[in-house]
């Protein structure tokens, strides 16, 4: 039995654990640039001033200190183990479901990986949508009146405030656009990773012997590709979830896109893309590398234990 068959037969649970470690590594490495991205997306310059990543980063450090770049990290970090673990475990299952024609002894087909990714993205939206709403509210907490006026001390207080003022509908504000964003983007995400892995290191999908460089590069490119596909929808999602009952401006995704384009032009749909792409390459390279290394450690440890028992 080759490595893939052995791994697939005994991977239940370890996919979950490895995905969790990958998610934690990604959040810690990428949150500062994510904060810059969020602020770029909601900043309305009205044709004046600069929305460049460097300007926003410099102002944040000067006015709010380095800690401001990590504001809101608690919300995704507290749940990222389960969320990211679920994503990788679900994709492992669905990629097989959608690729039944492939032998269990072989890696999933590219079609199965892509369709499994789409299904995974849709399912995980139910978890990630409320988390990102809290994260966005915390990241945008400043003194400007056009953003979040009430002081938020942490994610728990944000959740309580949203629940008290808006109820369940407020907690899940932006769910629809999150599904539209995450379904296709996750399909592209996992497909690109598997495809690039095979291109950079032929045969490694079956042997499981890809190098560290291959993991970093394939993961980074997967992150970049997935964000380019979904970015305009992410801009709309950020604007919708940044709203409070006292500052409602958009009545839905279509209305948000229409008004944003009318006020600031089509460029608004891609504002912050440079920051996002840079962050995506770093974060998802780290995510997949941490995921693959954790899987290897867990797999090798079990083999050692079995050998000792024998």
* Number of compact structural domains in the chain: 1
Lowest mean pLDDT of 135-139, 149-153, 215-219, 294-298, name the range: 149-153
Q: What does the pLDDT look like over 38-80, one tens digit per residue?
A: 787 777 655 444 567 778 888 888 888 888 888 878 767 767 7
**Cβ atoms 292, 214 nearer than 8 A:** no
Sign of CA dihedral 122, 128, 129, 130: positive
pLDDT at 58: 85
Q: Does 236 map to a domain?
A: yes
**Cβ atoms 205, 194 nearer than 8 A:** yes
Cβ atoms within 10 Å, residue 34:
23
Q: Does 171 map to a domain?
A: yes
* Domain boundaries, position 113: 3-305
Please, what is the average pLDDT of the chain?
Answer: 82
Q: How far apart, in Å, are the Cα atoms of 93 and each of 59, 87, 108, 255?
A: 45, 10, 10, 37
Query: Given pLDDT bands bounded at 50, 70 and 90, which one contains residue 285?
Result: very high
Q: How far apart, in Å, are the Cα atoms of 144 and each of 103, 147, 151?
A: 58, 6, 11
Q: Does 93 map to a domain?
A: yes
Q: What does the pLDDT look like over 146-187, one tens digit per residue?
A: 444 444 567 888 889 889 988 999 899 999 999 999 999 999
Q: What is the pTM of this model?
A: 0.79
**Cβ atoms 112, 99 nearer than 8 A:** yes
pLDDT at 148: 45
Q: Is it the case that residue 294 has pLDDT exceeding 60? A: yes
Query: What's the whole-number mean pLDDT along residues 258-269?
Result: 92
Q: Is it the case that residue 142 has pLDDT exceeding 60? A: no
Query: Given pLDDT bands bounded at 50, 70 and 90, which one contains residue 35?
Result: confident
Rounded Cα gap, residues 41 and 174, in angstroms: 15
Kindly report the three-state secondary structure assignment for every residue of 30-97.
HHHHHHHHHHHHHCCCCCCCCCCHHHHHHHHHHHHCHHHHHCCCHHHHHHHHHHHHHHHHHHHHHHHH
Q: Does 310 map to a domain?
A: no
What CATH number did the domain enclosing 192 receive? 1.50.40.10
Dihedral angle over CA of 135, 139, 140, 144, nearest 10: 140
């Amino acid at each position: 039995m080759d490595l893939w068959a052995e791994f697939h037969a005994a991977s239940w649970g370890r996919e979950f654990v490895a995905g969790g470690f990958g998610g934690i590594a990604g959040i810690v490495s990428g949150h500062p640039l994510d904060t810059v991205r969020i602020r770029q997306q909601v900043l309305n310059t009205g044709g004046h001033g600069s929305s460049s990543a460097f300007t926003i980063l410099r102002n944040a450090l000067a006015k709010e200190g380095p800690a401001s770049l990590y504001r809101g990290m608690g919300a995704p970090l507290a749940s990222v183990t389960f969320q990211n673990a679920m994503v990788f475990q679900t994709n492992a299952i669905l990629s097989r479901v959608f690729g039944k024609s492939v032998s269990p002894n072989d890696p999933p087909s590219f079609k199965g990986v892509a369709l499994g990714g789409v299904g995974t993205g849709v399912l995980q939206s139910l978890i990630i949508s409320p988390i990102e709403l809290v994260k966005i509210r915390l990241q945008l907490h400043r003194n400007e009146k056009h953003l979040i006026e009430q002081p938020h001390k942490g994610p728990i207080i944000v959740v309580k405030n949203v629940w008290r003022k808006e109820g369940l509908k407020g907690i899940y504000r932006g769910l629809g656009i999150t599904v539209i964003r995450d379904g296709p983007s996750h399909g592209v995400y996992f497909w690109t990773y598997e495809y690039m892995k095979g291109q950079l290191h032929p045969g490694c999908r079956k042997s499981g012997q890809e190098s560290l460089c291959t993991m970093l590069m394939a993961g980074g490119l997967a992150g970049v590709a997935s964000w380019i596909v979904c970015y305009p929808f992410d801009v709309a999602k950020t604007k919708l979830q940044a709203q409070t009952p006292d500052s409602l401006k958009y009545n839905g995704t279509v209305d948000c896109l229409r008004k944003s384009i009318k006020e600031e032009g089509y460029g608004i749909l891609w504002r912050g893309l440079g920051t996002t792409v840079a962050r995506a390459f770093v974060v998802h390279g780290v995510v997949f590398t941490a995921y693959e290394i954790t899987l290897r450690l867990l797999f090798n440890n079990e083999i050692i234990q079995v050998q000792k028992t024998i």
